[in-house]
Structure 1
């Protein structure tokens, strides 16, 4: 009796990312991912069930990776201010691969009302946490929004920005965030 084959979900997600990177979000199909991953369409469907579920799994994986990076940053002291500073630092260190992932994620969000609602909920909660963090919440909010804005502008290729300019912008954002500390608790 043969050993039952297992399919590596992360390998399938890697294949899905490759399809999107090479051909765009509209080319993401179960069949294209199966071809790219060297598995059957049934194998992809077994892992994720649908294209939307596969996109959701990609977003979940990216979010978990980024959350891990933020948590590991020395700026993250557990306070809201420290978390925002760590978010800024982790974004500043992200490369063009992260920008590609963000563009994919946003394209996917634009296609799915459910995924837009999840993103809206996350951003709303984050901004409320920042607002409740203390007297310097304005500086933290500006740093957070500037981080997201410059990341998205670069991700979508809406601004030409070399690494030196990227670094300079993030020094400015980090300086803004450094002014935003928690008062009281």
Structure 2
């Protein structure tokens, strides 16, 4: 009897991301991923479960990458305003490839309420402690929402920014957060 192939989860998640970006959420199927990975559908299902479980694994991967970007900027347990500052820096510093990945992720997330709820929890966990009774808390909320809006516009190709315009936007949002605007 032959040995069962070992599935490299990170490689398969990378292939899933590639399919998601190339073919959209509908193109990311267990069958398409198995074919791309050169394994059986059962192997993918054994490693990840359902398509929703696969997307949840992608979300976990993206969240770990985000944390790896933000923690060096503000530490592992930043206060609410510092969390927004770290998020802003990570947003402004992302590459064009990261924005393309974000658009694919968002398209996949809106397919099911389960993933939308996970994302809501993520935002609440990182930014839910802002004290909106203070000017600093209100500026942080406004900065966060402005950064996310700009991020979405860029990720979905709704607005184009030159590198200088993007850096300038980041500087303006930094100034808003600091109360200098």
TM range (shorter): 0.7 to 0.9
Change (3 A) 1:76 1:42: closer
Cα RMSD between the aligned structures? 2.3
**2:87 pairs with 1:87:** yes
**2:41 pairs with 1:45:** no
Match of residue 14 from structure 1: 14
Structure 1 stretch displaced more, 100-109 or 76-85:
76-85
Within a 5 Å distance, the mapping from 1:29-44 to structure 2 comes to 29-44=29-44
Q: Which runs of 5+ in 1 are unaligned?
A: 181-185
Whole-angstrom CA distance in 2 between matches of 1:114 and 1:106: 13
Match of residue 120 from structure 2: 120
Secondary structure of 1:136's counterpart equals helix
Q: Is the 8 A contact 1:20 1:27 kept in 2?
A: yes
After the TM superposition, which segments of 4 or more aligned residues of structure 1 sit over 6 Å from their partners? none
Change (3 A) 1:114 1:77: closer
**2:74 pairs with 1:63:** no
1:134 is displaced (CA, Å) by 4.7
1:60 is displaced (CA, Å) by 1.2
Whole-angstrom CA distance in 1 between matches of 2:17 and 2:63: 14
1:141 is displaced (CA, Å) by 0.9
* 1:8-41: CA deviation from partner (whole Å, max 9, x where unpaired): 1111100001111222221111111122222222
Change (3 A) 1:144 1:76: farther
1:149 is displaced (CA, Å) by 0.9
Structure 1 stretch displaced more, 159-168 or 127-136:
127-136
Change (3 A) 1:58 1:77: closer
Structure 1 stretch displaced more, 128-137 or 38-47:
128-137
Alignment TM-score, normalising by the size of structure 2: 0.88
Whole-angstrom CA distance in 1 between matches of 2:3 and 2:178: 56
Q: Is the 8 A contact 2:80 2:127 kept in 1?
A: no
Whole-angstrom CA distance in 2 between matches of 1:81 and 1:75: 13
Q: How many residues align?
A: 180
Whole-angstrom CA distance in 2 between matches of 1:168 and 1:39: 47
Match of residue 183 from structure 1: none
Alignment TM-score, normalising by the size of structure 1: 0.86
* 1:149-171: CA deviation from partner (whole Å, max 9, x where unpaired): 11111111111222221111111
Match of residue 162 from structure 1: 162
Change (3 A) 1:127 1:133: farther
